[in-house]
Amino acid sequence: RGEMVVISDEHGRVVGRGLVNYGIEDAQKIIGHPSSCIEALLGFVGEQELVHRDNLVLA
């Protein structure tokens, strides 16, 4: 949580960098799911986004 991550598309091209709102274990559980499923997947909602747009820089 709070670490800078590189965000890539399905072809491995870097599309941005941002600060992540969840730890690695929780992030792996929610990646690919809509925000509305976070509580069901984790049992809690810390933030609605894995990376919020205010903490995102597009490449």
pLDDT per residue as tens digits for the range 4-48: 999 999 999 999 999 999 999 999 999 999 999 999 999 998 899
Environment class of residue 56 by beta-carbon count within 10 Å: exposed (0-12), middle (13-18) or buried (19+)? middle
Mean pLDDT of 48-58: 95
pTM of the entire predicted model: 0.79
The whole-angstrom separation of Cα 12 and Cα 18 is 16
CATH dotted code for 4-58 = 2.30.130.10
Residue 30 is predicted with a pLDDT of 94
